[in-house]
Chain A
Amino acid sequence: MSVIATPARQSTGGISARTVNRVVIYGLLALFALFYLMPLFVMLVTSFKTMDEIQNGNMLALPQAPTFEPWLKAWGETCVGLTCAGIKGYFWNSIKMVVPAVLISTLLGALNGYVLTKWRFRGHTLVFGLMLFACFIPFQSVLLPMATILGSLGRFGVTLRNATGLSFGLGNPTVNLVFVHVVYGLGFTTLFFRNYYEAFPTELVKAAQVDGASFFQIFRRIMLPNSMPIFVVTVIYQFTNIWNDFLFASAYAGTGDAMPMTVALNNVVNTSTGVVEYNVNMAAAMIAALPTLLVYVVAGRYFVRGLMAGAVKG
């Protein structure tokens, strides 16, 4: 539906007016591209500069003697709070939290979506509505009760460990965060799969039922092989959301060795002791951003589809 480019209204000065038009459009688009790229560019460039160059040079200038030092320092040496062992530990914390949380919530979402579309019962809309609304609540309204419960579970875990020698993950901040992210991610994953399976032909399921296939057989043999795209969308969406989460992370693992990447990054940047090493801060920020950026670069199309599906009920 290109409008400006159509030749319908070309008058005498048509060609030149059109050219001007195109130049303006491309100019504006390029200008905005600069606006969006600028912070990333500055971050990247700064992370390869020495402190000397940062203080005396121009923010936008390319590094004169590019150095990997800040990246190595951010990864292995910089101080997060009082411990100075870099952010690598926290990076792994995030991975240990993200992988199980994404897998569990996605799988549960797939099963829920399957039930809510192909095995409907009275009140299925209400059940779905209640789960859907849960996606939109401000998490501040559940933050405190969850902290209380996690605290009690932690104390119970200590008792359990004293009694049996095993705490079964109770009280472990990473386990807690996995649990929290599964609970509050279920709404979205269910939404994604429900909308996807809604369009999936029910006749196929009916036919398999007539042939005597069971609930799980149908799910495994018919639904799953046809769910690849929505799995990719859901996994990417959940991965990005959980990796980037800060509120839960700071509330339930805000201090200590178990804090995820986002909290650690915030601590690195806001540590006020000694000289602020901007290049190290920027390198740390880049490291925190890399996993999600990488996913975006590799599977941008699915990423956008996930955002859209989360925004508009399809």
Chain B
Amino acid sequence: MTTVATQIKLTPEHNARPGASMRSRLQDALPKLVLAPSFAITVVFVYGFILWTVYLSFTNSKTFPSYAITGSRAYQRLWRWTFESDPPSSWYTSITNMGIFGFLYIFICLALGLFLAILLDQKIRGEGMLRPIYLYPMALSFIVTGVAWKWFLDPGLGLEQTLHQWGWTSFHFDWIKNKDFVIYTVVIAGVWQASGFIMAMFLAGLRGIDGEIMKAAQIDGATTFQLYRRIVIPLLRPVFLSAFIVLAHLAIKSYDLVVALTSGGPGGSAWLPSNFMYEYTFKRNEMAVGSASAVIMLMTITAIIVPYLYSELREKPR
């Protein structure tokens, strides 16, 4: 908001010129006035609220917010829970799940996305039909995805039952009901939803590569495999970065999918930090602990996003 004030001071000709009407001064300030509400809203409802959450995390708020600072007890508890693995604390489960889910989700989406993009880039007939098929899950709500996969993975109704009917009676697949494996079902549904989009990102990247480079490499006798490993994939580095940022961001924010697919899993075994935050804040009346976990999530995302945004915004100094 200070920019508005300084900007008006920086254009002194209006003050100097006595004929300058109110109207033209208004015209000069108009762009800033138009932007001001949005900016003010962002400052208050994003940054102000973040500070508010940080503040709450240093109180001992339970069911209702309390505003007496009581120190870092919430963080100390989270820190203690971080190592409480037997029996696992909810926080331990949440962050281990985050590690498993985050790694597999990002890795499989990147690998599958790149693989499909390379396949689709081989002058495929019917590409126009296949691409939308790979991509449509991205248009669905996580809740719908969760409902669909919950059905599909249910041992009594879905895949297991179907294979039993087809005669493979020893087939056993109950991950969705198994507390040690339930998080992997979240990975499956998550990959199903996002990998098509990552494919589209890679495909756009592939289409942007100069064909001359490829021809030159082929003339030099490079095999297809070498061509992709040595030339194409290194050229796709910026796409890898963008895709990684998108996926990391989606992974840390994942909440709905766990709720819809597993309802939290047996004994909360499918929780991610976002579920932990929601449950502790709104259901277990541990507002301070919930806020502390939200702050930790925010810091994780900030560590990934800020350097990226900074480099992106700096690139074009126009």
Interface of A toward B, CB cutoff 8 Å: 1-6, 8-9, 25-26, 28-29, 32-33, 35-40, 42-43, 46, 54, 58-60, 108, 111-112, 115-116, 119, 121-123, 125, 127-134, 136-146, 148, 183-184, 186-187, 190, 214-216, 240, 243-244, 246-247, 251, 262, 265-266, 269-270, 278, 281-282, 285, 288-289, 292-293, 295-297, 300, 303-304, 307-308, 311-313
Contact A296 B120 (CB under 8 A): no
Interface of chain A, helix or strand or loop or mixed?
helix
Contact B3 A140 (CB under 8 A): no
Tell me, rounded to whole Å, the shortest Cβ–Cβ distance linking A152 to chain B. 11
CA distance A259 to B43 in the complex (A): 28
Given contacts A54-B157, A59-B157, contact A186 B42 (CB under 8 A): yes
8 Å CB contact of B252 from A138, A144, A247, A285: A138
Contact A292 B46 (CB under 8 A): no
Contacts of A137 in B (CB 8 A): 46, 50, 298, 301
Q: Which of B75-83, B101-109, B289-297 contacts A (4 or more CB under 8 A)?
A: B289-297
Contacts of A292 in B (CB 8 A): 139-141
Contacts of B130 in A (CB 8 A): 29, 33
CA distance A164 to B143 in the complex (A): 41
19 A–B contacts, CB within 8 A, in A order:
A3-B224, A6-B218, A37-B133, A42-B158, A46-B151, A130-B43, A136-B305, A138-B252, A139-B253, A140-B278, A141-B49, A144-B65, A144-B287, A216-B30, A281-B151, A293-B139, A304-B135, A308-B201, A313-B313
Q: Which residues B123-173 have CB closer than 8 A to chain A?
A: 123-124, 130, 132-145, 147-152, 157-159, 161-162, 165
Given contacts A269-B260, A311-B242, contact A215 B50 (CB under 8 A): no
Given contacts A121-B7, A278-B157, contact A140 B294 (CB under 8 A): yes
CA distance A132 to B305 in the complex (A): 10
Q: Which of B14-22, B89-97, B178-186, B192-200 contacts A (4 or more CB under 8 A)?
A: B192-200
B277 interface hit (Cβ, 8 Å): yes
8 Å CB contact of B294 from A60, A138, A240, A282: A138
Contacts of A54 in B (CB 8 A): 157
**Least CB separation from B45: chain A residue:** A183
Contacts of A115 in B (CB 8 A): 31-32, 34-35
Q: Which residues B35-51 have CB closer than 8 A to chain A?
A: 35, 37-39, 41-43, 45-50
**0 or 1 for each of B271-312: is its CB under 8 Å from A? (1 = yes):** 000100110011000010011011101100100011001101
Contact B42 A119 (CB under 8 A): no
CA distance A127 to B2 in the complex (A): 11
Contact A246 B256 (CB under 8 A): yes
8 Å CB contact of B141 from A141, A244, A308: A244
Tell me, rounded to whole Å, the shortest Cβ–Cβ distance linking A171 to chain B. 18
CA distance A312 to B47 in the complex (A): 23
Contact A119 B141 (CB under 8 A): no
CA distance A46 to B161 in the complex (A): 14
Given contacts A136-B301, A251-B282, A312-B242, contact A289 B50 (CB under 8 A): no
**0 or 1 for each of B198-237: is its CB under 8 Å from A? (1 = yes):** 0011001011010100100011000110011000000000
B69 interface hit (Cβ, 8 Å): no
Given contacts A112-B35, A289-B141, contact A58 B132 (CB under 8 A): no
Seed contacts A29-B116, A121-B32; 15 additional CB < 8 Å A-B pairs: A33-B133, A35-B192, A127-B3, A130-B42, A131-B42, A141-B50, A141-B297, A144-B53, A184-B45, A247-B256, A278-B151, A292-B141, A308-B201, A311-B243, A312-B242
**Least CB separation from A281: chain B residue:** B147
Contact A138 B297 (CB under 8 A): yes
CA distance A115 to B278 in the complex (A): 37
Contact A296 B161 (CB under 8 A): no
Given contacts A141-B297, A246-B259, A293-B140, contact A58 B162 (CB under 8 A): yes
Tell me, rounded to whole Å, the shortest Cβ–Cβ distance linking A123 to chain B. 4
Contacts of A37 in B (CB 8 A): 133
